[in-house]
């Protein structure tokens, strides 16, 4: 029987590629993002090419009631979710004291509150069925503080901690929770976040397709934490053995060198 995956932020980047991968495997989809026109285009392509069912919801997930509205709409259409993929996210660069509060608040709402709310809504249904998979897109930023991207790094640290904790809570209920922790990736999110940073623009980054393939496979295997790339794995491990004061100083130097 075909599994249905709900993917947030699926109009571009990693979420878009995750949708394609799931459809390629014959899975049905619920696609959620602000850009409904992009979702409609993807829906038409995937339904025609892979003969799957795709339900599209145009929704601004910055708003506190967005997750509930999505959940209620799916209940009305009798659509049951087997895989929940919390991919939507927002980043920002700059000193916190000089930042725009509205953007910081939106980042917290999207990266944390909406992700938790979706999980809280759909997890009980998975527990009743004694099956389900959750993929939360975190970041290598989850493993250390990030001066000049302080709120973004902090939100991703939350996603990692939350994912590991609830993964333990449901491990005996037939449900897996995976935190995908990619480094910089060639996505629309990346382009928006780095703005004019020359060093990052010149670096060859892994494609969103490559990261999506890695994350999807990790979710299907039920991995708790999935870190693409040997360098990323090494650095994520290294910070556990280095004094926090040095980790922060090193992170600050790296971030400032990107300006």
At 37, which CATH number?
Answer: 3.40.50.720
The pLDDT of residue 246 is 73
**pTM attached to this predicted model:** 0.90
* pLDDT surpassing 80 at residue 193: no
Please report which helix (H) or strand (E) contains residue 134, including its range: strand 132-137
Q: How confident is the model at residue 210 (pLDDT cuts 50, 70, 90)?
A: very high
The pLDDT of residue 109 is 97
* Segment 219-236 mean pLDDT: 90
Distance CA 256, CA 232 (A): 19
Give catalytic status of residue 152 as yes or no.
yes
Q: From the candidates 71, 83, 152, 216, which is the catalytic residue?
A: 152
- Which of the pair, 251 or 71, is modelled with greater confidence? 71
- Which of the pair, 231 or 217, is modelled with greater confidence? 217
Distance CA 33, CA 57 (A): 7
Q: How confident is the model at residue 232 (pLDDT cuts 50, 70, 90)?
A: confident
**Portion of the chain with pLDDT greater than 70, in percent:** 88
Distance CA 77, CA 196 (A): 44
Mean pLDDT of the chain: 90
CA distances to 36, 67, 131 from 155, rounded to whole Å, are 26, 18, 28
Q: How confident is the model at residue 195 (pLDDT cuts 50, 70, 90)?
A: very low
The pLDDT of residue 250 is 67
Distance CA 82, CA 3 (A): 6
Where do the H-state alpha helices sit in the chain?
A: 13-24, 36-50, 66-76, 101-108, 115-129, 150-169, 188-194, 198-202, 208-221, 230-238, 244-257
Domain containing 153 equals 4-257
- Which of the pair, 201 or 174, is modelled with greater confidence? 174
- Which of the pair, 65 or 185, is modelled with greater confidence? 65
Burial-class residue 107 by CB neighbours within 10 Å (0-12, 13-18, 19+): buried
Give, in degrees to the nearest 5, the angle at Cα 185 between 184 and 190. Answer: 80
Q: Which of 225, 133, 217 is nearest to 182 (CA)?
A: 225
* Segment 51-68 mean pLDDT: 96
The pLDDT of residue 186 is 72
**Portion of the chain with pLDDT greater than 90, in percent:** 77
Domain count, the chain: 1
Q: How confident is the model at residue 173 (pLDDT cuts 50, 70, 90)?
A: very high
- Asked whether the CA dihedral 67, 70, 76, 81 is positive or negative, the reply is negative
Per-residue tokens: 218: 């990790």
In terms of DSSP bridges, do strands 132-137 and 83-86 run parallel, antiparallel, or are they unpaired?
Answer: parallel
Q: How confident is the model at residue 191 (pLDDT cuts 50, 70, 90)?
A: very low
* pLDDT surpassing 80 at residue 118: yes
């Amino acid at each position: 029987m075909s599994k249905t995956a709900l993917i947030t932020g699926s109009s571009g980047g990693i979420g878009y590629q995750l949708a394609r991968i799931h459809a390629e495997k014959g899975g049905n989809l619920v696609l959620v993002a602000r850009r409904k026109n992009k979702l409609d285009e993807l829906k038409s392509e995937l339904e025609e090419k892979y003969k799957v069912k795709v339900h599209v919801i145009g929704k601004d997930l910055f708003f506190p009631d967005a997750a509930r509205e999505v959940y209620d709409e799916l209940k009305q259409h009798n659509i049951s979710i087997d895989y929940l993929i919390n991919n939507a996210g927002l980043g920002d660069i700059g000193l916190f004291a000089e930042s725009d509060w509205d953007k910081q608040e939106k980042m917290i709402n999207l990266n944390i509150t909406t992700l938790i709310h979706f999980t809280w809504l759909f997890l009980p249904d998975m527990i009743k069925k004694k099956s389900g998979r959750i993929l939360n897109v975190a970041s290598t930023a989850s493993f250390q503080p990030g001066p000049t991207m302080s709120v973004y790094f902090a939100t991703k640290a939350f996603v990692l901690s939350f994912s590991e904790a609830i993964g333990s809570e449901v491990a005996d209920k037939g449900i897996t929770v995976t935190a995908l922790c990619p480094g910089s990736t060639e996505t629309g999110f990346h382009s928006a976040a780095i703005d004019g940073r020359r060093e990052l623009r010149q670096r060859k980054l892994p494609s969103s397709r490559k990261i999506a393939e890695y994350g999807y496979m990790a979710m299907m295997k039920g991995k708790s934490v999935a870190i693409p790339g040997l360098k990323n794995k090494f650095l994520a491990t290294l910070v556990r053995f280095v004094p926090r004061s040095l980790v922060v100083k090193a992170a600050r130097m790296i971030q400032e060198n990107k300006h």
